[in-house]
Amino acid sequence: MRVERRIIVNADRDTVWKVLGSPDCYPSLLPHLERWETITEGPPRVGSRYAVLWKIGSIPVGGIAEVVEFEKARDLAWINITGVTQRGRFRLRDAGPGRTIVTFRLAYHSDGGLLGLIADRIAARQVGRSLSESLKNLQRLVES
């Protein structure tokens, strides 16, 4: 299942990146995030790993996420290497002077064949709301 939301913020890409490029900001940015723990040493980069636990409805889902793309003020992508199969991405693009289009994309797949597919479809609405709320939180952080 793939869910994507976008927003235009009144801030340049470097300003937005100060929040998105700093995973320490994620607990205040991402709603329904119950656990965010840095596993690797050093600054965020490709290969950085985090223990993540989200609450989707009443179900906790998570695992170990690894950063697979980290291009300053442009793209940040990760995959889950344990737990629920998941790929996520924040994408920043110019939207005119001092404005940025931020795209938040999440693709996930639950095991279990048909039952997993049903669970994914049911969760899509909640996941979409969570992505939208995350982008609104980001907008408040960078525009204030």
**Per-residue pLDDT at 124:** 66
Burial of 93 (0-12, 13-18, 19+ CB in 10 A): middle
Domain boundaries, the chain: 2-143
Question: Using one digit for the tens of pLDDT, what is the confidence trace for 87-119?
Answer: 999 999 999 999 999 999 988 766 677 766 666
**What's the chain's average pLDDT?**
89
pLDDT tens-place string over residues 15-34: 999 999 998 888 889 888 88
Strand partners, 8: 101
- Distance set, CA 20 to CA 74, 107, 114, 142 (Å): 10, 18, 35, 10
| C-alpha count within 13 angstroms, C-beta hemisphere, residue 90 | 29
Q: Tell me yes or no: is domain 2-143 CATH 3.30.530.20.
A: yes
Distance (Å) of CA 67 to CA 51, 77, 120, 140 = 12, 6, 23, 25
DSSP classification of residue 110: -
